[in-house]
Structure 1
């Protein structure tokens, strides 16, 4: 923030606090434990310089959105495009032969440097599916059934070849740590349609080879106010700890405690003008509302038996299946951005075995989520994104049946569904061996620009002042909206 902007902000806050008998803390408290939101409190909070939980920026969206929310099914570790969505007959023909040096000379290869590079053909059969005839591997039989709803991006590329920085690029648009995540950008701009749940929720599961850790900064808010960071829910048991009051504390006592804490925070904010104190006040308010909303959210007993069977779960059991069902329930309740990480797609060895494992865990629930959203009329305004931080090499790593694939950033696949995306199509292409994106190369920044466009946001005009610069999710390099994909 520029010093002059901060000066004006402090003046406005001081004027507001001095001219109103109700403090900022009490204004936030007015919505606590009462079950009814006070419009007066919301108006006063906005006057004080902060959007309320449901708010967002007053000038957004820039134009009519096609999507209201995003569900990102994040396959952490880097699923192989060559065993899922990008069939390469020439690679199959060259199986076991030396990889042509013209493809790899001077190229970044994570763990194959100095080794003899040999081609590894597709390890699963591909078939055409649906009216559109999309080619999908046999290891994804359930997604194949919803192929006419999928738009497969076959020409993705990214900047970083190791997991953590590649996650950072996918989530924040840059490899520089500490920048806001895409979910934080979206909730900062558009707010949330829920007033009793966070606007940005994260769930994780694991299963497969070598589940790589995921840092919480991947859903951090960076230089945006802290209330826009992602909130990680537990995947097993209750989504949030400590929902029940401790023994000896009733609702009246809790209210008195929160009242006192908010008053102290408001006094501190009057002196220090710290946006994070406003975040703390807002979080107390939200936490109290969540005490009422979370138990109902986590109770799957109201789901029909056929829905539970389609996802392959009966409750919060830590599985990707349960997280997909939770994602639909969160979307129904107005959560703006939902991100599900499944860790286990890092297949340097035993490719067939671990592809089978990961696809068994993720294929059916992914397809069930898309079908469930569609039959509820929600897919048309929910953008579903499926993919990981990068792809895998056409060359094999290891020996014999234990062969796997290394990290690859020059060409990989993801898919989009719903939210204004035209299904039953492929976009872009890699070369005959699946190494380079050669037709309509699509950078992660293009994916972000398209996501924002579907949410009604012009990525060029969506900025936040930081260190004297107008910062954007899509950065300063060229990014384009993939208008060819839209309905």
Structure 2
């Protein structure tokens, strides 16, 4: 890790969100588990969530409609896979060889009236329907302290504390650029102590990851930290400033968390993908997204319960080409952007992750999930890029496909379907709440009770049911 830098404030909250959630929630004491069907999950020890920032086109990837009219289906063709009857896009040939591990949930619907990124993130990351502020504020709707928590932080709160790392780690960036930070990716009302640790990657140096909130001032090395009593005194002074919103007990836990991360050699070693064989790095693809998936596998081996990889956009290369921020938000030139850029990188990296985990006998105990904030409009043409001639697809929050693998999921299957044009769920419609509950089920998490700062109980996700038939 490069010469780090630390401030008292960033050290307190490794995620960098601040103290916003402290006054809201903490996990309830462990109690009897909710009774669940015989198809109980609990096989997964870790989850890797791969989030395709921008809104991936379901119709051109994993829910193709070859019999639809040309203005819907587009030029891509489906291909057979290693799972009989399961078809994928011709531009996913490596993933097609791993399809016997996949479960495709093709009937994820939504009630997001805003049809925008912020609400899509929130719904698919928390399982909760976005409130009215998403409609009134749009992209100005910042993360709130009383938001519902990100599924990864719920998992983190229900697992024993990791001895050297944190229970939830997010990489290679925090979507999106301030002040437009996406809601839904934080612990919020669950409590800031459960926020993810954010690792930063780079398009230019994809083998290097660092944790900005754990960086030391030049000239300060970890060996000096433990003996610097003046630093503790400074932290105590800061603590008194927050007495109104944070108990000293919580403060102590935060303090211990930051110190243990700073002085642990295992923290630095876990982030070092350059130590992996060159042949394996090439199999993943030496891009920031490919290396993020490789690092996610290393974090699984290190015992981290929840790892999130947010696809890093290449704005410089793709923004103009795709009429977007350089990710999966293909408002223009949808098919060339997918065929030439997005799908090859995804195909190589995600198929390598499945293969690598299977080769290491880790797939059965690692749940993999791919989702996005939305699908794309089934009918080709976005007015922002010239209509049909611009060959783009606009936002479409009404239907998307989620991919699941490992963690007790039975591979080689599909669940539900969209209609003949891919516009709306048809058979077995589900919501992001059902998918989120499925993640909890796979991780063996059935106690979702918490209490607020006045000791009043609330349920972290009352809606939805796990998709038991997937297991």
TM-score by length of 2: 0.76
2:188 maps to: 222
Q: Deviations over 1:365-412 (max 9, x none)?
A: 011011111111111011000120111121122445531112222222
CA distance in structure 2 between the partners assigned to 1:474 and 1:339 by the alignment = 20
- What is the alpha-carbon distance in structure 2 between the residues aligned to residue 186 and residue 170 of structure 1? 15
Deviations 1:118-164 (A, max 9, x none): x4223311011114331000111111110100001111112222110
Structure 1 CA distance for aligned equivalents of residues 195 and 181 of structure 2: 13
Which of the numbers 86, 105, 112 marks the counterpart of 2:63?
86
Residue aligning to 2:254: 280
Q: Report how far residue 73 of structure 1 moved.
A: 0.5
Question: Separation in 1 of the partners of 2:119 and 2:360?
Answer: 37
1:421 corresponds, among 392, 406, 409, to: 409
| Pairing partner for 2:268 from 295, 314, 318 | 295
- The aligned counterpart of 2:458 is 471
**1:173 is the counterpart of 2:116:** no
Alpha-carbon contact 1:126-1:135 (below 8 Å) kept? yes
Query: Kindly tell me: are residues 348 and 248 of structure 1, through their superposed partners in 2, closer, same or farther at Cα, counting changes over 3 Å?
Result: closer
Cα gap change, 1:412 to 1:211, in 2 (>3 Å): farther
Aligned to 2:116: 162
- Residues 250 and 65 of structure 1, relative CA distance in 2, 3 Å threshold: closer
C-alpha distance in 1 between matches for 2:178 and 2:258: 33
Change (3 A) 1:377 1:170: same
Where 2:52 maps in the other structure, the secondary structure is strand
Rounded to whole Å, the distance in 1 between the matches of 2:51 and 2:380 is 24
Deviation at 1:445, TM superposition (A): 0.3
Report the Cα distance in structure 2 between the residues aligned to 1:379 and 1:286, rounded to whole angstroms: 29
Query: Does 404-413 or 76-85 show the bigger shift?
Result: 404-413
Q: Deviations over 1:204-251 (max 9, x none)?
A: 369xxx999972643211112211001210113341246456327673
Q: 1:240 matched to which residue of 2? A: 211
Distance in structure 2 (CA, Å) of the matches to 1:255 and 1:60:
43
8 A Cα contact 2:225 2:263, kept in partner: no
Cα distance in 2 for partners of 1:296, 1:186 equals 24
1:473, distance to aligned residue in structure 2 (A): 3.6
Contact 2:261 2:267 in 1 (8 A): no
Q: Give secondary structure in 1 for the equivalent of 2:266.
A: helix
1:324 to partner: Cα distance:
0.6
CA deviations over 1:6-41 (Å, ceiling 9, x no partner) = xxxxxxxxxxxxxxxxxxxxxxxxxxxxxxxxxxxx
C-alpha distance 213-123 of structure 1, shift in aligned 2 (>3 A): farther
How much has 1:81 moved relative to structure 2? 1.0
Q: What is the CA deviation profile of residues 255-278 of structure 1, one whole-angstrom value per residue up to 9, with x for unaligned ones?
A: 223443566678889997356523
Instruction: Please give the alpha-carbon distance, in whole angstroms, between the structure 2 residues aligned to 1:84 and 1:361.
Output: 13
Matches for 1:245-260 after TM superposition, within 5 Å: 246-247=218-219, 251-252=223-224, 254-257=226-229, 258-260=231-233
Aligned partners of 2:236, 2:100: CA distance in 1, in Å? 55
Matches within 5 A, 1:11-410: 58-59=30-31, 65-91=42-68, 94-95=69-70, 119-160=71-112, 161-174=115-128, 175-176=130-131, 177=144, 178-192=147-161, 194-204=162-172, 215=181, 217-236=183-202, 237-241=208-212, 243=215, 246-247=218-219, 251-252=223-224, 254-257=226-229, 258-261=231-234, 273-274=247-248, 276-290=250-264, 292-313=265-286, 319-342=288-311, 343=313, 344-356=327-339, 357-397=341-381, 398-400=386-388, 402-410=390-398
Cα drift, residue 77 of structure 1: 1.3
What's the offset of the Cα at 1:355? 1.2
Distance in 1 separating the partners of 2:159 and 2:220: 40
Secondary structure, in 3 states, of the residue corresponding to 1:348?
coil
Q: CA deviation at 1:347?
A: 1.2
Normalized per residue, the structure richer in strand is: 1
Find out whether 1:430 has 2:396 as its counterpart: no
Shift of 1:201: 0.8
Q: Give the SS at the match of 2:304.
A: coil
Taking structure 1 as reference, are residues 64 and 424 closer, same or farther at Cα in structure 2, changes over 3 Å only?
A: closer
Q: 1:129 to 1:306 in 2, by over 3 A?
A: same
Which residue of the other structure, out of 461, 465, 470, is the alignment partner of 1:480? 465
Q: Which is further off, 441-450 or 349-358? A: 349-358
**Where do 5+ consecutive residues of structure 1 fail to align?**
1-49, 96-118
**The residue matched to 1:429 in structure 2 has which SS?**
coil
Larger Rg: 1
Aligned length: 396
Conservation of the 8 A alpha-carbon contact between 1:159 and 1:166:
no
Q: The residue matched to 1:284 in structure 2 has which SS?
A: helix
Aligned-pair CA distance for 1:195: 1.7
How much does 1:252 deviate? Answer: 4.1
Aligned partners of 1:429 and 1:439 also within 8 Å: yes
Task: Please state how far the C-alpha of 1:60 moved relative to its aligned partner.
Answer: 7.8
Question: Residue 121 of structure 2 contacts residue 182 of structure 2 at CA under 8 Å; is this kept in 1?
Answer: no
**Unpaired segments of 5 or more residues in structure 2?**
1-25, 35-39, 132-143, 203-207, 314-326
Moved more, 152-161 or 175-184: 175-184
